[in-house]
Amino acid sequence: DLYSKPEEIWQVYEALSKVPDGVFTVAAAFGNVHGVYQPGNVRLEPEILGNAQKYIAEKLGLPEGSKPVKFVFHGGSGSDLKDIRQSLEYGVVKMNIDTDTQWSYWSGIKDFEAKYRDYLQTQIGNPEGEAKPNKKYYDPRACLRAAEESTVKRLQQCFEDLKCTNICGMGAPGTPENVLGPRRGGLPA
């Protein structure tokens, strides 16, 4: 069976609870898989987490509505926002999105290459002139920076999906000040 049962989650919870001062998460299977698949090929059932919370709360004699288990959502890449939000309601405190971050990183490089393709064919000569240098475009730091920026956007989307923006009292992040402009060796915008 590809789905965890409340009794199985209870066994894990019970075993891990024996660790003195232990704080842990449980990675229950509720249809989540690593990787990204065509819509309809993966069916998430976040209710499994909710049912496990009820079962374990009863076992522990906790009040109705208690959420004794902290879940980790393995294989969150490509998941529907409705399922993500529902899993949060059932006690998910962490979601893994490695496949999405890999794609966002690659996408930044791919988009950089597409945008600057005519500048990346030779060291000298581009649409701006035959004698114009292209160093600032083929410098690997330029495309890596684009990859980082793309990944930051994906992570920001994830933080918003998981309802964890501006909750630590630190406010919105400011504009970075430790970057060089193009005249000082900075990267193209």
Task: List, for residues 160-171, the tens digit of each pLDDT value.
Answer: 999 988 777 767
The tally of CA atoms less than 13 A away on the side-chain side of residue 4 is: 27
> What predicted TM-score, i.e. pTM, was given to this entire model?
0.77
Distance (Å, rounded) from C-alpha 163 to C-alpha 173?
16
Reduced to 3 states (helix: H, G, I; strand: E, B; else coil), residue 89 is helix
**Could you tell me the pLDDT band of residue 101, with boundaries at 50, 70 and 90?**
very high
Give whole-number Cα distances, 66 to 23, 52, 58, 63, in Å: 17, 11, 9, 6
Task: List, for residues 2-36, the tens digit of each pLDDT value.
Answer: 799 999 999 999 999 999 998 999 999 998 777 66
